[in-house]
Chains A and B, each alone.
Chain A
């Protein structure tokens, strides 16, 4: 039985336009699945539908089932807000693309990170402060004490995304959804953050749903991919197979353009 099972997911905008059409996939415990597609292909909406957090006005149909040990099997669609909230964080949580806007600009970083630690582990006072420090150290942030006291605008983009990752990990979810977690970062920072995410998810045995438009990034961290185009899943399979023998024209163009960029590097003197 899978940790997350999405069957025939449909998301429609308020005006009736279908943004996600009949998307199905499953993620097993500890497995890593990539969701790849261009912007507007419905990747992020799929993630929000899993969390039961679609913007007001959007309608969802089809099944999203989370089956987390200790929480039981739960159908997300149509679940009451209160029960959904109990599920969020523990069953799954999200790391967003832009860490500057995903962190509260008026709250010190340490306090934001303390919130999930307080709620999930029931820590208070000195123990909570120590846990915040440990969580910041875990995401390889030097000077955890300075970072904890800083406001989000006072630290760099890479540091902010590390904080966001620490906050997501603090929830100890069974499934981590990473929605373009490295897109807003500098390329050199991107590699570091990716390696960190990869290592921590492996270490904690979490499942990972990695959303990106970048085939190279997705293939570096995931085992299987689902390719989305205009809200439809056009292809899915093991990363190696997809890269070696893409079937759908869109996937072929994805692979070709990734290769082209790669070979440009090889040709460089």
Chain B
């Protein structure tokens, strides 16, 4: 059953990854090509038709996959790195520092991601980097809070005391015992965060706060197709389907990973 979850997740998310990879090597039309005419219906030569400016929708979708994955993975890398580091520090810190970090994290988590993104866009500009930064920062607070709790739970375990009674150094305790023991939970959570990051990128782009043209983004495609949704529904449906496929796929992978990452839950022998 679990295996089925993992496999179907990999199929869904893998399809989107494949599209993104292919987009670097081959595109049906150049992104700026408007030779197909406005709002051409699906068929040949434009597989999914064209948008209101005459750009090929399939081409736009393929570039959108690249952006969605790029922002998703980028923000998970940023958020994961910052979050795990901050969580480790808080988990090991003295009572006073730990309480301070906990309060700061709670404030950061309460701060809406969209508002943070708007602030960042106002200071910088609407770009791929701003989107990754905004989503990654917001994510790091959630990851840090989780890491802090996990570290505290592991540090209270007997095997940490046992390792210390034999004179194991703190550095080795962190790398050999703490990180491996928080990793299964963390990895599942990071996978879930990847799904959320893809959704966040779509929302930001929908609001015009995402990466600007010529980068096509699923969120902006939705927004652009909104006015013509009754005449040309494919323009709104296609990016919607891909967002759902990627997010559901990633969440299924997260669910399936839970067992793979934890040997005590693996069925062996």
Q: Do A and B bind each other?
A: yes
The count of residues in chain A whose C-beta lies closer than 8 Å to any C-beta of chain B is 34
User: Is residue B100 contacting chain A, with contact meaning CB distance below 8 A?
Assistant: no
A101 touches B176 (CB 8 A): no
A107 touches B176 (CB 8 A): yes
B166 touches A116 (CB 8 A): yes
Q: Which A residues between 75 and 101 are near B, CB-CB below 8 angstroms?
A: 85-90, 92-94, 96, 98, 101
What's the minimum C-beta distance from A206 to chain B, rounded to whole angstroms?
A: 14
A90-B167 contact in complex given A96-B162, A103-B159, A104-B159, C-beta closer than 8 Å: yes
Other A-B pairs beyond A102-B162, A104-B181, A115-B166, 16, CB < 8 Å: A86-B167, A89-B166, A89-B167, A92-B165, A93-B165, A101-B158, A102-B158, A103-B162, A104-B159, A104-B177, A105-B264, A106-B264, A107-B177, A115-B163, A164-B162, A170-B166
A48 to B268 Cα, complex, angstroms: 36
What's the minimum C-beta distance from B184 to chain A, rounded to whole angstroms?
A: 8
User: Is residue B35 contacting chain A, with contact meaning CB distance below 8 A?
Assistant: no
Interface residues on B, range: 20 to 34
Q: Which B residues between 235 and 269 are near A, CB-CB below 8 angstroms?
A: 262-264, 268-269
User: Is residue B226 contacting chain A, with contact meaning CB distance below 8 A?
Assistant: no
29 A-B residue pairings within 8 Å (CB atoms): A51-B165, A88-B165, A88-B167, A93-B167, A98-B158, A101-B159, A102-B159, A104-B163, A104-B176, A104-B177, A105-B264, A106-B180, A106-B263, A106-B264, A107-B177, A115-B172, A115-B176, A116-B166, A116-B167, A116-B168, A119-B168, A151-B263, A151-B264, A154-B269, A167-B162, A167-B166, A168-B166, A170-B166, A171-B167
Q: Which residues of B contact A240 (CB under 8 A)?
A: none
Q: Which residues of A contact B2 (CB under 8 A)?
A: none
User: Is residue A153 contacting chain B, with contact meaning CB distance below 8 A?
Assistant: yes
A151 to B166 Cα, complex, angstroms: 20
Taking Cβ atoms with an 8 Å cutoff, the residues of A that contact B are 48, 51, 53, 56, 85-90, 92-94, 96, 98, 101-107, 115-116, 119, 151, 153-154, 164, 167-168, 170-171, 177
What's the minimum C-beta distance from A18 to chain B, rounded to whole angstroms?
A: 22
Contact of A88 among B95, B166, B176, B263 (CB under 8 A): B166
A48 to B167 Cα, complex, angstroms: 13
B264 touches A101 (CB 8 A): no
A171 touches B164 (CB 8 A): no
Q: Which 10 A-B pairs have the closest CB atoms?
A: A89-B167, A88-B167, A101-B158, A94-B165, A89-B166, A102-B162, A102-B158, A104-B159, A171-B166, A93-B165
Can you name the residue of chain A whose Cβ is closest to the Cβ of B165? Answer: A94
B262 touches A106 (CB 8 A): yes
A231 to B268 Cα, complex, angstroms: 45
A177 to B177 Cα, complex, angstroms: 23
A220 to B264 Cα, complex, angstroms: 36
Q: Which residues of B contact A107 (CB under 8 A)?
A: 176-177, 180
A94 touches B167 (CB 8 A): no
Q: Which residues of A contact B164 (CB under 8 A)?
A: 51, 53, 85, 88
